[in-house]
Amino acid sequence: MHTKDGLRAVRQGKPITPASVKRYLGSKFGEDLEEVRQAMTVLAHSLPAADLARQAFRLYEAFRPEVEAGTAGWGAEGELDLAKLALAARS
């Protein structure tokens, strides 16, 4: 969502503060957060913005974490492989 303070993530129709997003990501990635952020930045800069928007879900499918068999739904825990992220940036 575009706000007077810039682009913001949205939850239940309301903009989320960058600090709350950082806390959430920190809780998920822990000490690996900076390395993950850097890898995602490389991936984001590997394509023009319009292509990135059009291909975002395909890219996510290329590097999304594997989850245990029988586990379903968003938010299921898995292990993010940064090598897959790097491969997605090169494809």
How do the domains of the chain map onto residue ranges? 2-90
Model confidence pLDDT, tens digit, residues 33-70:
999 899 889 988 988 989 988 998 888 888 877 777 77
pTM: 0.69
Tokens of 53: 């928007």
Q: What pLDDT is attached to residue 75?
A: 67
Length of the chain: 91
Tokens of 26: 């920190």
